[in-house]
Amino acid sequence: MPAPRRIELVLRIDGEALRVSAPQPPSRARLDELLPAMQAIDNAAIDHAVRKNEANTGAYVTCAKGCSACCRAQPVPVTPPEAHALLLLVEAMPAPRRREIEARFADRVARLRDAGLADAFLHRDPDLSLDGARTLARDYFALGLACPFLEDDACSIHPQRPFVCRQYLVTSDPALCANPFENPVDVVPMPLQAAIAMLSAASAVMSTPQHTVPLTLALEHARLHRAALRQRVDAEPVFRHWLQALSSG
């Protein structure tokens, strides 16, 4: 079997040239099929950001396996193509594992519905104010919904985790992450906005503005929009759109 094709590119960030080798998406692809290439680029940008932050501030990333505060209660935002990728990932799991993960998702969805929050996230009001969004996020946080993929304080889907999970790295005391709404958490600044760029690309493909949903609602959201998310498009122009949008978020 021939080796999977790859794309080689050079990212220029802060005057530095970063060489990236990424898996080449199919020429006609669903949006989620672009994610492996995008994640390879995002990973290179994140590594660069961490190195630069260390050099500039002397502060080191304090996130480590076993520290899962950010996966325990925050409304981790995922884009619709990432939600679709997670749905496909779960649907491809062996039946017992799939049932276990789906049950966890169903539990989180039910608790969000009981709290009257699910629809506010699934069908986001485009005119929601910043204060309104903050209140919604605080209400979500108060429910203490752990990510369904969190197991033994570690991410069980680490290679496939969403953009935001990759990018959220702190240099402050990990204890502060237990409540980032009240505590001053030092987050490593990221040069590229991969999720925002994906929203831009997905909005263009789907001809309607797209928004993120908390990861706990990812399967629900992807099921609601499965037909649109299943469409295949010419990958190259969408990928170029994403690359251009990366630094303008």
Binding site for ligand SF4 (CB under 6 A): 71, 76, 147, 149-150, 155, 157, 161, 165, 215
CA neighbours closer than 13 Å in the CB half-sphere of residue 104: 16
In this structure, the number of other CB atoms found within 10 A of the CB of residue 188 comes to 20
240, 199 contact by CB (below 8 A)? no
CB of 171 to ligand SF4, least distance (A): 18
- Toward ligand SF4, which CB reaches closer, 147 or 198? 147
24, 133, 212 from 198: Cα distances, Å: 17, 20, 10
- Toward ligand SF4, which CB reaches closer, 149 or 242? 149
CB of 168 to ligand SF4, least distance (A): 8
- Toward ligand SF4, which CB reaches closer, 90 or 136? 90
- Toward ligand SF4, which CB reaches closer, 65 or 230? 65
Angle ∠(190,118,232) on CA atoms, nearest 5: 60
CB of 63 to ligand SF4, least distance (A): 10
CA distance 35 to 98: 22
CA distance 32 to 10: 23
- Toward ligand SF4, which CB reaches closer, 68 or 200? 68
DSSP string, 185-197: --BPPPS--HHHH
52, 188 contact by CB (below 8 A)? no
CB of 84 to ligand SF4, least distance (A): 15
Closest listed residue to residue 213, CA positions, set 135, 119, 128: 119
CB of 165 to ligand SF4, least distance (A): 3
- Toward ligand SF4, which CB reaches closer, 161 or 211? 161
CB of 242 to ligand SF4, least distance (A): 21
Q: What does the block give as tokens for 200? A: 């831009």
